[in-house]
Amino acid sequence: MSRRALTLLVAGFLVLALGVAGAFLPVPYVVLSPGPTENTIGEVEKKPVITISGHQTYPTKGALRLVTVAYQGGPSSRIDLLTALRGWVDPTVAVVPEETIFPKSRSPKEVEEENTVEMTNSQDFATAAALTELKIPFGMVVTVASTEKGKPADGKLRKGDEISTVDGKPAANVKIISDAVKAHKPGESVAFTVIRGKDKTDISLPTVAGPSGQAVVGVVMQESYKFPFKVDINVGDVGGPSAGLMFSLGILDKLTPGEITGGKDIAGTGTIQASGEVGPIGGIAQKMVGARKSGATVFLTPADNCAEAMKAVPDGLRLVKAETLHAAVSALDALRTGKGDVPACAAG
């Protein structure tokens, strides 16, 4: 073999070796793919997704599926270039920069914890929205989320304490309590009445000057709902807020006679507020693919996701626009009875 041919052969081998090695180098991207679906009026691991106690419930039929997006990659388990390339040519998945899912300002653990909190809040909002739609009254309470170390509330107030009054006045929301504390001069005391378990306790706390000079006691508060009966939601490892609409519909279906699905396999997505407003979500294309693979024929779509959804809707899946919980219920009624308008997504 000539020296020239040998040189070309070695160079070709090196290029091939470098190409193969490069294909397995980790890259800062995440692959998003269709995830599993769960029927909110069905079961997960032989346990009902939604369990209601303390109120009459009714049999359900069909499916109301929440949809998910699975991801591969992340700071602690980066994908290789070959995996990313496969994703770029697969129309059912998306390849996005790592910071889209894992912002550099937060650790993967913090992202996971945030998703868990968002899921918990979503379940509360879903219950509140369903009860609002059914005109079932419920209350709101302010509870202690945490206290600041070294501040007056530290060791006096506990996580989970329900603050019922401040300076003798009802503590209807966080702002009322915060304003009542700030109305004092640093050094003055604030009177709280808290409910801890089954006990009601009066606690007086001195105030100190906060960073702005206003009086503080060092308590972090959160508002939560107080429902007239218990609603438990079991979805395993699913996180984030995007299942809110489907939780609300599942709760509604169980609390009302008849089946709002009409026996159909319905899927959908969207965040939910206590008022019933449906908000946009991410990963709509992958969620639609997952819905269709699971057998759904109708997909409830947040209004703000409609234009994007129209560009990637799978064959056999009907997109129904859902701006509010009430609109979604009305659309399902129209689909079931054949009477009334079914709002459709339109291309943007």
Please provide the distance, in angstroms rounded to a whole number, between the alpha carbons at the two ends of the chain: 64
Read off φ and ψ for residue 2, nearest 5 degrees. -70, 160
3 state DSSP class of 230: strand
Contact 325, 272 (CB under 8 A): yes
Instruction: Specify the DSSP class assigned to residue 187.
Output: T
For this structure, is 46 an active site residue? no
Q: Rounded distance, CA 79 to CA 101, Å? A: 14
Q: Which of 151, 264, 287, 321 is catalytic?
A: 287
Tell me the two tokens of residue 88: 């770029």
- 10 Å Cβ neighbour count for 159? 10
For residue 157, what is the DSSP state?
A: B
> Which residue of the set 122, 151, 242, 248 is catalytic?
242
Contact status, residue 288 vs residue 314, Cβ threshold 8 Å: yes
Alpha helices in the chain (DSSP H): 3-23, 81-89, 98-101, 108-133, 174-182, 244-255, 284-293, 306-310, 325-337
Query: Does residue 95 contact residue 27 with C-beta atoms inside 8 Å?
Result: no
Q: Which residues touch 119 (CB under 8 Å, ≥6 apart)?
A: 235, 238, 239, 240, 241, 243
- Residue type at 66? L
Cα separations in angstroms, 290 against 232, 297, 303, 312: 25, 12, 20, 12
Asked about 339 being catalytic, the answer comes back as: no
Where b means 16+ CB within 10 Å and e means fewer, 333-344 reads: eebbeeeeeebe
Angle at 268 between CA 264 and CA 271, to 5 degrees: 145
- Cα 281 from chain centroid? 9
Catalytic (active-site) positions: 242, 287
